[in-house]
Structure 1
Amino acid sequence: MHTPVTIIGAGLGGLTLARVLHVHGIPSTVYEAETSPTARAQGGMLDIHDYNGQPALRAAGLIEEFRSLILEGRQAIRVLDRDGAVLFERADDGTDGRPEVLRGELRRILLDSLPAGTVRWGHKVSGVRALGEGRHEVTFADGTSVVTSLLVGADGAWSRVRPLLSDATPQYIGRSFVETFLLDADTRHPASAKAVGGGSLFVPEPGKGIQAHRESGGTLHTYVALTEPQDWFAAIDFTDPAAAAARIAREFDGWAPELTALITAGDTAPVLRPLHALPIGHRWDRVPGVTLLGDAAHLSAPNGEGANLAMYDGAELGKAIAAHPDAVEAALAEYEQTMFLRGAEAAAEGTQLHEFLFGDHAPHSLVAAFTEDDLS
């Protein structure tokens, strides 16, 4: 394999690709805008699925390291109504079908598995251009550049690589999350801790809802969902955390206090997370020397599949390159055709999940979906 692989983005997908390539003796370089592995908090819990995320880690030779990260009991699920009454509850069955780990810890084991110098930190992409014959030049904000004959955009929703392949841009889906954290909740916020339970909490209603995870150390990580235009959120001053939390909580007047406390008692400033998606079924014609993975390729409404799909994309692309070392274009074509299909399927499922969560029949639609899943 003589073609240097250049990966833009040191998220889970890009790192999985780099690791699978390394397992097969193929060098790569990952360019990341962040200045260090600890420059930014890496988000909360991820459920890693036995049909995509776990096979990706197995291909990366990291399944045992992954298992050491699992937080026991976090597969538990409960659905409450606005009064705090339990509508559905399922205990962690211990099967490891969707075990929960912290995103930052998962990223750490991927980083630790790569040769020193594989990731080049502090390289923010400022431009990408085609040079012909499958070669591309990537320019960085510091004025440096690199020329590569195999470029992979693993750079997320606002990918700088995507325009080489597609004119599509993510569009706001009409809903945003507001993220909050309660720390040491079992001691400091026992009612809220009891409401969340041992794993994941869903309290959905038409157009809005509260979702929370129990993380490590008694941390409760909450996403408050509201179906409102972006202008509505722009009118809230998020530089005033208390006022912003109070404004968001007003949308949940009359809800049980242990639920609204997940918003108003936060130990960190509330963070607005607008939700965007690419068109379902997003695809492109084969362009020599470049491809995409993860959110750069198939960003969709959040449905628990994003990180799993990114890692699976990375593993499948790495395996395809290794299987066709002298026919990289064949490898890319093979990878893209299956990636397009799974991305479209996951995006459609995500749209359906949001209907269960926030459609006219919530919360009963979500309870029905979970009940059918239990029976299947």
Structure 2
Amino acid sequence: MPQPPIPIIGAGLAGLTLSRCLLHHAIPSIIYEKAPKKASNNYAITLNRSTYQPLLSILKIDEADFKQRVGVGVAVDDAEREIGGGADSMGTTTVRVNRAKLEEVLREGLDIRWNFSLQSIDTTPTAGTAKTESRLHFANGEELQTAFFIGADGVHSQLRNLFLPPPASTVQVLPYVVYNGKRRVDRSVFDTEYATAGLGGGGGIVQVKHKDALFRISLDSLGRGDGGGEVVGISWTYSRPAHPSSSSSPPDPDPLFRPNRSLASALEIPEPLFAELVTMSTLLPPLLSARFTTDILKKDRILHWLMRTTATASLPVLQRLMKETGACMVGDAIHAQPILGGKGANAAMEDGVSLAEAIAAKGRAGVEGWYEERFEGWRRGVEESKGVIGEMHRVEARQAGGNL
């Protein structure tokens, strides 16, 4: 009897990696993704070599080929530079990759059903057995009955919200102001106005710090524009701790920190942000500073980012949930780390590789042991990420003396 496909909720890095690794083990799966189409995700992330190397044989490509297909690289002065490559603070070899290209490689050969937003789950005992089955209800009216499924639906996981009580179901927003902007420029403009100012070498990242505020500019991609010419994707990130409310009555909150904003209002950018950005841009090399005036910045696509984490549910709770409902959770759905300071992409992909191996070895019975192996690393990773983002914004003794 053919093995029924394992349902995976979510087509992010955890879900894609898991499904691709299951395919390698000849185990069928179907990904159900709430988005109506694939997300663009055209930005750079940092991967540890230890994260992507186990995938190379599964993807049937060598390391050089992998970097060629997904890496963020721009030839500068006739030398191909590996953008953002090197070693992280722990001495681990890393490489900067374009997430959209990475997801494109991972999607090859997978069965992905778009516009499947999970709404609710009914769990019932299977007649005559000690097992249970779950019926998944989607917003498009479709239903799916299964005895085993995997939640890889990210930090806003509907599966986590349905099954886990607070605090495990609660998303925590760390008190940091973070804004990200993106722009695309012609290659000739990049070479004359960005690369010569330092962005083309030394890892493709320029960062300046003023007291507790950071301004970081990096390369995201190299591609072709509508006219066929080369265009370079550039992103910048501005971050600082949220300022405490003033002592006035009523207290005046930090206008740039909006922890309760809606998803849609991420595009609503407060005017005071531009004054802070211009202050930071004066610390850049002159050629680069000239590309970050208020007028130019307002043409960028800017998003307000929230630094979200989740409290990992206890190990017994996760194992009991698996036994009672057939639900397993991976990636940000169960151990989200903040974008700054975290290594969520690496953790999610490592979840996918290791869970596929556990399922290939023991079927769904392998999940309990897999949870035991991964759990402490999840908990430690979330806590370490909070420490890293704090250290990133720590005021050096010589810089002390107030905020922007």
TM-score of the superposition, structure 1-length normalised? Answer: 0.79
> Is the contact between residue 331 and residue 344 of structure 2 (CA under 8 Å) also seen in structure 1?
yes
* Superposition map of 1:258-337 within 5 A: 258-259=288-289, 261-262=291-292, 264=294, 265-266=296-297, 267-279=299-311, 283=315, 284-286=317-319, 287=321, 288=323, 289-302=326-339, 303=341, 305-325=343-363, 328-329=364-365, 331-337=366-372
The equivalent of 2:67 in structure 1 is 67
Q: Decide which of 182, 198, 207 is 1:202's aligned counterpart.
A: 207
**Relative to 1, partners in 2 of residues 1:170 and 1:362: Cα closer, same or farther, differing over 3 Å?**
farther
CA deviation after TM superposition for structure 1 residue 253, in Å: 7.9
Q: Decide which of 157, 160, 163 is 1:162's aligned counterpart.
A: 160
Instruction: Measure the CA separation in 2 of the matches of 1:362 and 1:105.
Output: 42
The equivalent of 1:123 in structure 2 is 116
- Find the residue that maps to 1:301 and give its secondary structure: coil
The equivalent of 1:232 in structure 2 is 255
Instruction: Measure the CA separation in 1 of the matches of 2:212 and 2:49.
Output: 31
CA deviation after TM superposition for structure 1 residue 342, in Å: 2.0
Structure 1 window deviating more from structure 2 (155-164 vs 187-196): it is 187-196
Paired AA for residue 361 in structure 2: A
Aligned residues: 342
> Is the contact between residue 46 and residue 102 of structure 1 (CA under 8 Å) also seen in structure 2?
yes
Paired AA for residue 120 in structure 2: G
CA deviation after TM superposition for structure 1 residue 222, in Å: 0.9
The equivalent of 1:249 in structure 2 is 277
**Relative to 1, partners in 2 of residues 1:61 and 1:314: Cα closer, same or farther, differing over 3 Å?**
farther
The equivalent of 2:104 in structure 1 is 108
Deviations 1:20-62 (A, max 9, x none): 111111111100011122xx32141122211223324544545
**Relative to 1, partners in 2 of residues 1:43 and 1:172: Cα closer, same or farther, differing over 3 Å?**
farther
The equivalent of 1:369 in structure 2 is none
* Superposition map of 1:360-375 within 5 A: 360-361=395-396
* Superposition map of 1:168-183 within 5 A: 168=168, 169-183=170-184
> Is the contact between residue 280 and residue 300 of structure 1 (CA under 8 Å) also seen in structure 2?
no
Please identify the structure whose Cα radius of gyration is greater. 2
Paired AA for residue 116 in structure 2: H
> Is the contact between residue 222 and residue 262 of structure 1 (CA under 8 Å) also seen in structure 2?
no
Deviations 1:250-289 (A, max 9, x none): 6648644635844742443311111111136865341221
Deviations 1:62-118 (A, max 9, x none): 5555233223424448xxxxxxxxxxxx899xx99312221001101111232xxx1
Instruction: Measure the CA separation in 1 of the matches of 2:107 and 2:124.
Output: 31
Q: Decide which of 202, 212, 215 is 2:217's aligned counterpart.
A: 212
Q: Is 1:344 aligned with 2:379?
A: yes
> Is the contact between residue 356 and residue 363 of structure 1 (CA under 8 Å) also seen in structure 2?
no
Structure 1, unmatched stretches of 5+, are 78-89, 365-376
**Relative to 1, partners in 2 of residues 1:21 and 1:358: Cα closer, same or farther, differing over 3 Å?**
same
- Find the residue that maps to 1:210 and give its secondary structure: strand
- Find the residue that maps to 1:158 and give its secondary structure: coil
Instruction: Measure the CA separation in 1 of the matches of 2:397 and 2:375.
Output: 31
Structure 1 window deviating more from structure 2 (68-77 vs 304-313): it is 68-77
Structure 1 window deviating more from structure 2 (231-240 vs 46-55): it is 231-240
> Is the contact between residue 150 and residue 290 of structure 1 (CA under 8 Å) also seen in structure 2?
yes
Paired AA for residue 277 in structure 2: A
> Is the contact between residue 136 and residue 149 of structure 1 (CA under 8 Å) also seen in structure 2?
yes
> Is the contact between residue 173 and residue 306 of structure 2 (CA under 8 Å) also seen in structure 1?
yes
* Superposition map of 1:75-154 within 5 A: 75-76=83-84, 97-114=93-110, 118-132=111-125, 133-154=131-152
Instruction: Measure the CA separation in 1 of the matches of 2:357 and 2:164.
Output: 22
Higher relative contact order (CA 8 A, sep 6+): 1
CA deviation after TM superposition for structure 1 residue 292, in Å: 0.9
Paired AA for residue 275 in structure 1: M
Structure 1 window deviating more from structure 2 (237-246 vs 59-68): it is 237-246
> Is the contact between residue 76 and residue 200 of structure 1 (CA under 8 Å) also seen in structure 2?
yes
* Superposition map of 1:43-62 within 5 A: 43-59=42-58, 61=60
- Find the residue that maps to 1:13 and give its secondary structure: helix
Instruction: Measure the CA separation in 2 of the matches of 1:144 and 1:281.
Output: 29
Structure 2, unmatched stretches of 5+, are 74-80, 126-130, 223-230, 244-252, 400-404
Identity of aligned residues (%): 22
**Relative to 1, partners in 2 of residues 1:200 and 1:14: Cα closer, same or farther, differing over 3 Å?**
same
> Is the contact between residue 46 and residue 95 of structure 2 (CA under 8 Å) also seen in structure 1?
yes
How big is the alpha-carbon RMSD for the aligned residues of Structure 1 and Structure 2? 3.4
> Is the contact between residue 18 and residue 352 of structure 2 (CA under 8 Å) also seen in structure 1?
yes
The equivalent of 1:367 in structure 2 is none
Paired AA for residue 50 in structure 2: Y
Paired AA for residue 218 in structure 2: H
**Relative to 1, partners in 2 of residues 1:242 and 1:278: Cα closer, same or farther, differing over 3 Å?**
closer
CA deviation after TM superposition for structure 1 residue 340, in Å: 1.3
> Is the contact between residue 204 and residue 363 of structure 1 (CA under 8 Å) also seen in structure 2?
no
